[in-house]
Structure 1
Amino acid sequence: MQIINLKIQDNNEIIREIVFKDGVNIITNDGDDGNQIGKSTVLKIINFFFGGKFTDLWHDPLNKSTNETVKEYLTSGNVKLILKINVNNVEHTIVRTLYQKGKRFSSINSINGLSFDGEDKYKKKLIELFGYANKGLSFSQLKNRFFEVEKKSSCDVLGFLYSNKKDLLTQAYSYLYSSNSLPYIIELNEFKLNKKELRKELEFLLKGSDISDFKNRYDEIQEKIESYEYKINSFDISKHQLDIVDELKSLRIEIASNSENLVVLENRAIYNNKTIENYNNKIDNVDVDVIESIYKDIVDFFGKPKEL
């Protein structure tokens, strides 16, 4: 890839243009003082084109301050950042415009005249533009190896080049120089990452304890499990089931006997009810006048009976 030129356009006016030559380009000044001529700003803008954070355009990581003038100017919606590049002998033009909507910032982007709203769609198309397809190393990780915009000190070049992410650097340079060992490096780094995650998990489980304590506790629990398994396997429930069956048979015999007694009692009750009913019917059929007539005849013949 080669950067051809970078333009900053305000409405229809080009206010700054930098033309890059083949090979190494050095941005400096003609005098003794090289400060405040825009070296860092140019790198931040190029980084922004390649998917960097737009906040880096106005944020200074050295003193952790924000340049409100630059921020207001770039997010007005009138400023276009235009970058022309050559990728595999094919020229591409990228245009990015920032604007503020409420408290949120967004961007309008185009690559070769094709528009992409929002960061995600733009970055996806950007990756396709470079033909980058590496599962072990994201495009942002690769790009960040060459843009120092978030370091605490811009003089910490040695710390930037030899960071603690040596595995990441190995993957980046293996990809750039088309090393045949890249798949194996990715696989090795995955092993290292998995090992690191497992160690973290082990430390979390131990929580400062010695692993021998867990081994003893493990043996105790295992012994109890085996004891319960033996009890479960040797447990005979058939005897209890037979006792229940015998009790059920006894209850059925008792119920049958009570049922027979109940039938006898019901028959007796029916018979008694009929006897009482017949007796009541006989009483109802007695002729009182006949009885009084017989009583009179007896009194007339025998006389009135004496009281006892």
Structure 2
Amino acid sequence: MDGLIRNITFHAGINFIVDETPPLEILATGNNVGKTTVLQLIDFCLGASAKGIYTDPENKRNEDLKVKNYLIDKEVLITLTLTSDLESPFAEELVIERNFLPRKKQIRRINGEHLTEDAFEERLTNQLFLNHYGKKPTFRQLISHNIRYKDQSVNNTLKTLDSFTRDEEYEALYLFLLGCSFDDGDSKQTVLSQIRIETAFKNRLESKQTRSAYEASLSLLEGEIQRLDAQRSSLNTNPNLEDDLKALDKVRYEISVSGSKLSRLNLRRNLIQEAVQEVQSSTANIDIEQLKSLYSEVSAKLGKLNRKFSELVEFHNKMVNEKTRYIKKELPQLEAQIIEFSARLDQLRTTERELTKKLATSGSFEELEKIVVKLNEKHQKKGEYEIIIEQITAVEKNLKNLNEKLEGIDVLIFSDKFQAQVQERVNLFNKYFSEVSRELYGEEYALKFDIGITRTGQRVYKFSAFNTNFSSGKKQGEITCFDIAYTFFADNEKIPCYHFLLSDKKELMHDNQLVNIATLVERECKHVQFVASILRDKLPPALNKDEYFCIRLSQSDKLFRIEQHTS
């Protein structure tokens, strides 16, 4: 170990991470000194992956081996200290420690306690949002607007999650952030999960053709089978041979039907088991005794609580268990059917071998054999088509029932009363949003919502910000206004939130905008830390002062100081 590499102190108000490299030198070196990495390290301590610190964001396969090896070989430890009050030396603190080593050497601690990955996320979640672990939106989703260094969050005001995030996840996120709650939120997520399972199963069944196409093909097959049966009858002069061939046709048809049925039963069982694992992963396994002191402290501050902490945890886990039981209720019947069809298939194959052996010695004609081969192929296809049609029909029935159940939930969520509640919260937030944007830009930004339709046909709340300005600087300003306004809103509505805002690429903003932000933060946000990375030569004179800097970097003094420690 080489001792302390950096000690960065963040104060209330503006905190600039400054790159002091001269402009001409930046062009020559590529400006890679670690400004963004400071933000990434804070995010890392809050549960982000370590790979982002030494991986190219545009190409995940490209790693900066120099940085990666340094972090591992030197056993670099990152420590982040969060405080409940910036001004009080006696305020409650949360000390988070993480390193980059694998397995047993890995450090993941909170206030000195080693934690597993799940327990780490649980502790962070419940520290900010009591009893929220295992629910949606997740902790990482809830703090996504506080930490903006990835392109998605740097360039979008509300779309702060990855590009694969579903509309219903954004719906849950912003309803939660606005303080809009509804009792059927978990039920809706369960039903939507089941709808996705059934839809995925239906898509697999119809990967080649739709049900109507299978029905049309089945009708044609039945006609071809009748024609081949007529040809075979005209060629056969042996009554016993005819009976044996019919028996073989029947057995092979039943083998095809049973095999297809068994395959789809196994597929459905696997999909249900995957869904069960997904639901069970959200169970809250909380050490009641360990958090007893925290619960007591909350009770002391807020007064006597209506429910014990253990009762809340037990209630949540019962909800998860009930979801699991509901999804698993079909499994016993599926297992019984799988056993039944497996045994039936073995019996049919034994019969097929006996008939095939018998017919091999019957001396059939060559042309008759060709017809029999064709008939076998047609019967096999017929069996496959009938099973697929049966499965598609069952899935469509299930989807209809699930969508009816979802519609029942949506009657409440999209009722006039609930929409009015959402609109009331949006209007309240917009008072802060418009005031902040008016002061910074002389314009008024606002949040709005519409009721849209997802790709799978479900109704969903879609939130967006008014924005008629498409320049990079103005977009950066809209994002900053939103983040500051939300902090005001959350504090006044007693909604838990972090009071630090981390932003990258602030050199895209105009000088006047930066000065206005600094003025607003210094005057109105004494408890807020606005942390931004920026090139020093892009700073306006009014902000180019040591009192606003939390760290200075340059080509000769990069963040990790690898050159100094390895020379």
Question: Does residue 75 in structure 1 map to residue 72 in structure 2?
Answer: yes
> d(CA) in 2 for partners of 1:15 and 1:29?
18
In the alignment, structure 1 residue 17 sits paired with structure 2 residue 15: no
Q: Which has the larger radius of gyration?
A: 1
| Greater strand proportion | 1
Aligned residue number for residue 464 of structure 2? none
The separation in 1 between residues aligned to 2:133 and 2:160, in whole angstroms, is 24
2:54 maps to a residue whose letter is: W
| CA positional deviation for 1:178 | 2.5
**For residue 111 of structure 1, what is the amino acid of its counterpart?**
I
Once the two structures are TM-superposed, the CA of residue 127 in structure 1 deviates from its matched residue by 3.2
Q: How many residues are paired up?
A: 203
Write the deviation string for residues 72-116 of structure 1: whole angstroms up to 9, x where unpaired. 12112542211110258621111223335xxx6852132222233
The residue matched to 1:17 in structure 2 has which SS? Answer: coil
Match of 2:83 in 1: 86
Q: Is the counterpart of residue 112 in structure 1 residue 111 in structure 2? A: yes
> Is the alpha carbon distance of 1:99 and 1:160 closer, same or farther for their aligned partners in structure 2, counting shifts above 3 Å?
same
In 2, the alpha carbon distance for the partners of 1:106 and 1:150 equals 29
CA distance in 2, matches of 1:165, 1:24: 34
State the distance in 2 between where 1:198 and 1:206 align.
12
Q: Which residue of 2 is the match for residue 27 of structure 1?
A: 17
1:43 aligns with 2:53: no
What secondary structure does 2:4 align onto?
Answer: strand
Q: Distance in 1 between matches of 2:101 and 2:21?
A: 36
Partner SS, residue 82 of structure 1: strand
How far apart, in 2, do the equivalents of 1:58 and 1:42 lie?
12
> Is the CA contact 2:124–2:139 (under 8 Å) kept in the aligned structure 1?
no
Secondary structure of 2:38 counterpart? helix
1:16 is paired with a residue of what secondary structure? coil
Summarize deviations over 1:124-175 as a string: whole Å, max 9, x none: 4333433333523333444556556776x88754795484522212212222
Q: Pick from 119, 122, 126: which aligns with 2:120?
A: 122
Contact 2:78–2:99 under 8 Å retained in 1:
yes
Of 63, 67, 72, which aligns to 1:66?
A: 63
The CA distance in 1 between the partners of 2:101 and 2:56, in whole Å, is 20
Unaligned runs of 5+ in 2: 86-90, 220-567
Query: TM (normalized to structure 2)?
Result: 0.30
How many Å apart are 1:49 and its aligned residue? 0.7
Kindly indicate whether the alpha-carbon contact (under 8 Å) linking 2:39 and 2:147 is maintained by their aligned counterparts in 1.
yes
2:268 aligns to what? none
CA distance in 2 between partners of 1:139 and 1:154 (Å): 16
**RMSD between superposed Cα atoms in Å:** 3.9
Query: What's the CA shift for 1:215?
Result: 6.5
Structure with the bigger RCO (C-alpha within 8 Å, sep 6+) is 2
Instruction: Summarize the Cα distance change of 1:210–1:15 in structure 2 as closer, same or farther, 3 Å threshold.
Output: closer
SS at structure 2 position matched to 1:14: coil
Q: Hey, what does 1:230 align to over in structure 2?
A: none
- Is the alpha carbon distance of 1:44 and 1:55 closer, same or farther for their aligned partners in structure 2, counting shifts above 3 Å? same
Query: What is the alpha-carbon distance in structure 1 between the residues aligned to residue 14 and residue 184 of structure 2?
Result: 33
State the alpha-carbon separation in 2 of the partners of residues 154 and 68 from structure 1: 27
Q: Is the 8 A contact 1:82 1:94 kept in 2?
A: yes
Query: Is the 1:29–1:37 contact (alpha carbons within 8 Å) kept by the matching residues of 2?
Result: yes
Cα distance in 2 between the residues matched to 1:41 and 1:74? 13
Letter aligned with residue 177 of structure 2? L
Matches within 5 A, 1:1-308: 11=2, 13-23=3-13, 25-29=15-19, 35-64=31-60, 65-76=62-73, 78-87=75-84, 90-99=92-101, 106-116=105-115, 118-130=116-128, 131=130, 132-143=132-143, 147=147, 157=156, 160-161=159-160, 163=163, 165-181=166-182, 183-212=183-212
- 1:63 is displaced (CA, Å) by 4.4
Structure 2 CA distance for partners of 1:207 and 1:38, relative to 1, 3 Å = closer
Given that residues 98 and 105 in structure 1 are in contact (C-alpha distance below 8 angstroms), is that contact kept between their aligned partners in structure 2? no
Letter of the 2:8 counterpart: I
Q: Partner amino acid for 2:109?
A: S
Normalising to structure 1: TM-score of the pair?
Answer: 0.52
Paired with 1:160 and 1:143, the residues of 2 have a C-alpha distance of 13
Q: Aligned partners of 2:133 and 2:211: how far apart in 1?
A: 43
Q: Deviations over 1:25-57 (max 9, x none)?
A: 443446775843422201211121111111222
Distance in 1 between residues matched to 2:73 and 2:20, nearest whole Å = 33
Within 2, Cα distance between the matches of 1:57 and 1:105?
Answer: 21
Whole-Å Cα distance in 2 between the matches of residues 177 and 39 of structure 1?
A: 32
